[in-house]
A and B are shown apart, each in its own frame.
Chain A
Amino acid sequence: MAHESAPSGFLLTTYEKAVNWTRTRSMWAATFGLACCAIEMMATGAAHNDLARFGMEVFRASPRQADLMIVAGRVSQKMGPVLRQVYDQMAEPKWVISMGACASSGGMFNNYAIIQGVDEVVPVDIYVPGCPPGPQSLLHGILTLQDKVMAGEIRR
């Protein structure tokens, strides 16, 4: 599998590209919808903005079967350990999209109850701004993640 210590060369680079391509074309997300952003995430998967055409056919409830965790919504102090546990249960390679203002930075809730940015708990690859981000913004974020993985910028 492609990792940092793999030797480079024409055959292996093409192999890496093929692996990256397969990873992006069937990235299944774990259901981690918390608040308002979850509704827009579900709307992105629904009829008008169809996520399935980009390979994200289903949202897996079990993190063990998922590649991508879209943290959609505000993460409270009580939910932080749960978030970390679900992230740890996912198998490599895994990616995290922080959807919305609350997940990216605490949003408008700069108070005692909300973790100010989910990147304090899990490593984040893509931040999607918005409150909530519309389906088109989330799609842009997912496609950017796919481009990054294809280009090899994110190596797992």
Chain B
Amino acid sequence: MSDTPNVVTGDFETPTVEPPEEQAGSSPTGATRREMRSIWVAGTEETAWMRNSTDEGAQEMLEASVDPAIQAERGIPVEDDFLETEATDNDELQILNMGPQHPSTHGVLRLHLELDGETIVRVKPIIGYLHTGMEKTGETLTFLQGGTNVTRMDYLSPLHMELAYSLAVESLLGIEIPERAQAIRVLMTELNRVSSHLIWVATQGADIGAVSMLIYGWREREYVLQFFEKVTGLRMNHNFIRPGGVAADLPDGWEDDVENLLDVVPKGVSEYEELLNENPIFRDRTIGVGVITPDECKALGVTGANARASGIEWDLRKAFPYSGIDKYEFDVPLGKHGDVFDRYLVRMEEIRQSLRIVRQVLETIPAGDYRTTDRKVTPPPRKRIDESMEALIHHFKLFTSGFKVPAGETYQAVESPRGELGIYLVSDGRERPWRLHARTPSFAHVQALPTMMTGSLVADTIATIASIDPVLGDVDR
């Protein structure tokens, strides 16, 4: 644009002043400055930045028929070097490191992203930042203490971890669990599923941008945690479900607390659905994002709500029922597309179905023992210790050296909120496990991340990571 004037002219009629010649290295002498000042008119001096300005002059709207921007929008090819983009060659791929300290990676997950602009070409998850050596520690703890260790692996669903561990130990011991203990286990684990999914929807919403979901999700979870504290003594990492049954019976008044929960939580869930289901931003950011097909799920070992959202009809509670859960009626929600939005819908419905199970437990829980009466495995009641020498010796032996489990190997799995959670236990006949291996669902899901993320945008990675519900304690153990 060569005919652009480089002095801004206003409405007033003033002479334009040519700036004096600049001599290299010399500043104007006093005389020339006074000279300049005498013929200056305020407001017309040309400042240095104007002299070097790079703007294109007054911006005006071009005719719609010739405006290149509108033509580009309409798809008419425009000759403009600004709009042409060249294909980037491999030298221009950028490596971006996400994590391990990151607000949205759900813990200490590290991702190496290879980016072409904003598109992900390759992603490599790097884990191990929370490796606690729990499988090694498990070999040093007795079977009664083992619950304290496994409960901290998946710290959002500790009762499921304890249940899987207890089922494995009981499978090797070959003991029967009383019906009331089984019902209490179902009650606690289904409520744990509710509290875990509440955290999931809180963090999923917050990662996508609905930051208020963080407050809402935790609000309902507090009621569940207060119930857990009343029953088990702890808000998290309870060590309540132990081999042989549960640690203690439900306290008086628990029915009222559960009724209250069944009243409050569905209202909260309806609020979340009202906030998110029809929200165009949420839908735009989640529909079609992070897709995984059923065949990929099977090959990679993706289980739980992620697999069900892809259409795989598989729930361990229906396929291999445990702890008497087949007595209760519940549905298993399925998705179709395998994207983030379907996982969200599946989990919301799972909260409702879990509450349905809780209501049935509340109505049909049998009276009875809360743990098996086999004295070789469970400690005697406290007041018996004062009365009977045998009870005292049992108690002493159980808590110091622990009970012996017959030699063998077993694998027991439960349906945790994240997927198939299994414990592979090898015993050599002594009081401590020979090998304790936890098959945790998040390990396989993090492995499936590259399948879900390649080809999508960086912003979609956040939505995808949140949607598979990884818990890094599960991944690294």
Interfacial residues, chain A to chain B (CB-CB below 8 A): 31-36, 38-40, 42-43, 46-48, 59, 61, 63, 73-74, 76-79, 82, 86, 108-109, 111-114, 131-132, 134
Beyond A46-B218, A61-B102, A82-B100, whether A113 also contacts B133 by CB under 8 A is yes
**Complex Cα distance A61/B236, Å?**
25
Interface CB pairs A-B, < 8 A, 23: A31-B103, A34-B129, A34-B472, A35-B473, A39-B155, A39-B199, A40-B236, A42-B218, A43-B222, A47-B219, A48-B219, A63-B101, A74-B132, A76-B132, A79-B129, A108-B149, A109-B137, A111-B132, A111-B137, A113-B131, A113-B132, A131-B237, A132-B237
For B128, the closest partner residue in chain A by CB is A78
Q: Which residues of B contact A77 (CB under 8 A)?
A: 131
Q: Which residues of B contact A59 (CB under 8 A)?
A: 103
Contact B100 A79 (CB under 8 A): yes
Instruction: Given A34-B472, A35-B473, output 19 extra A-B contacts at Cβ < 8 Å.
Output: A34-B107, A35-B130, A35-B472, A39-B155, A39-B236, A40-B236, A42-B214, A42-B218, A46-B219, A48-B219, A61-B102, A73-B130, A76-B128, A78-B129, A79-B100, A82-B108, A86-B101, A111-B136, A132-B237
| Cβ < 8 Å to A, chain B residues 198-237 | 199, 214-215, 218-219, 221-222, 225, 235-237
For B476, the closest partner residue in chain A by CB is A76
**Complex Cα distance A59/B103, Å?**
9
Contact B130 A74 (CB under 8 A): yes
Contact A36 B222 (CB under 8 A): no
Q: Which residues of B contact A36 (CB under 8 A)?
A: 152, 155, 236-237, 473
Task: From B101, B129, B155, give the contact of A76 (CB < 8 A).
Answer: B129
Interface size on B, residues (CB 8 A): 34
For B158, the closest partner residue in chain A by CB is A36
Beyond A76-B128, A76-B130, whether A46 also contacts B137 by CB under 8 A is no
For A61, the closest partner residue in chain B by CB is B103
**Complex Cα distance A86/B221, Å?**
31
Q: Which residues of B contact A76 (CB under 8 A)?
A: 128-132, 476
Contact B134 A109 (CB under 8 A): yes
For B129, the closest partner residue in chain A by CB is A79
B303: Cβ under 8 A from any A Cβ: no
Contact B132 A34 (CB under 8 A): no
**Complex Cα distance A43/B155, Å?**
14
Contact A114 B222 (CB under 8 A): no
Within the complex, what minimum Cβ distance (angstroms) separates B416 from chain A? 15
Contact B215 A34 (CB under 8 A): no
Contact B472 A47 (CB under 8 A): no
**Complex Cα distance A150/B225, Å?**
34
| Cβ < 8 Å to A, chain B residues 84-113 | 100-103, 107-108
Contact A33 B107 (CB under 8 A): yes
Contact B131 A34 (CB under 8 A): no
Within the complex, what minimum Cβ distance (angstroms) separates B236 from chain A? 6
Q: Which residues of B contact A132 (CB under 8 A)?
A: 235-237
B156: Cβ under 8 A from any A Cβ: yes
Within the complex, what minimum Cβ distance (angstroms) separates B219 from chain A? 5
For B199, the closest partner residue in chain A by CB is A39
| Cβ < 8 Å to A, chain B residues 109-135 | 128-134
Interfacial residues, chain B to chain A (CB-CB below 8 A): 100-103, 107-108, 128-134, 136-137, 148-149, 152, 155-156, 199, 214-215, 218-219, 221-222, 225, 235-237, 472-473, 476
Within the complex, what minimum Cβ distance (angstroms) separates A57 from chain B? 13
**Complex Cα distance A105/B134, Å?**
16
Q: Which residues of B contact A47 (CB under 8 A)?
A: 215, 218-219, 222
Within the complex, what minimum Cβ distance (angstroms) separates A33 from chain B? 7
**Complex Cα distance A47/B100, Å?**
27
**Complex Cα distance A113/B476, Å?**
11
Within the complex, what minimum Cβ distance (angstroms) separates A130 from chain B? 10
For B235, the closest partner residue in chain A by CB is A134
For A134, the closest partner residue in chain B by CB is B235
**Complex Cα distance A73/B152, Å?**
11
Q: Which residues of A contact B132 (CB under 8 A)?
A: 35, 74, 76, 109, 111, 113-114
Contact B236 A112 (CB under 8 A): no
Q: Which residues of A contact B131 (CB under 8 A)?
A: 76-78, 113
Beyond A79-B129, A79-B130, A112-B136, whether A31 also contacts B101 by CB under 8 A is yes
For A79, the closest partner residue in chain B by CB is B129
**Complex Cα distance A47/B217, Å?**
9
**Complex Cα distance A77/B152, Å?**
18
Most chain B beta carbons < 10 A, residue from A32, A36, A86: A36
**Complex Cα distance A39/B101, Å?**
15
**Complex Cα distance A39/B224, Å?**
14
**Complex Cα distance A31/B219, Å?**
20
Task: From A43, A79, A108, A134, give the contact of B218 (CB < 8 A).
Answer: A43
**Complex Cα distance A113/B149, Å?**
14
Contact A111 B155 (CB under 8 A): no
Task: From B101, B137, B214, B237, give the contact of A82 (CB < 8 A).
Answer: B101
Q: Which residues of B contact A73 (CB under 8 A)?
A: 130
Contact A109 B133 (CB under 8 A): yes
**Complex Cα distance A48/B223, Å?**
10
For the complex of A and B, the 9 pairs showing the least CB-CB separation, nearest first, are A46-B218, A113-B133, A36-B155, A61-B103, A111-B133, A47-B219, A79-B129, A48-B222, A76-B131
**Complex Cα distance A34/B225, Å?**
20
**Complex Cα distance A79/B156, Å?**
21
**Complex Cα distance A143/B471, Å?**
30
Q: Which residues of B contact A32 (CB under 8 A)?
A: 101
Contact B108 A79 (CB under 8 A): yes
For B203, the closest partner residue in chain A by CB is A42
Q: Which residues of B contact A79 (CB under 8 A)?
A: 100, 108, 129-130
Beyond A46-B218, A48-B222, A111-B137, whether A40 also contacts B130 by CB under 8 A is no
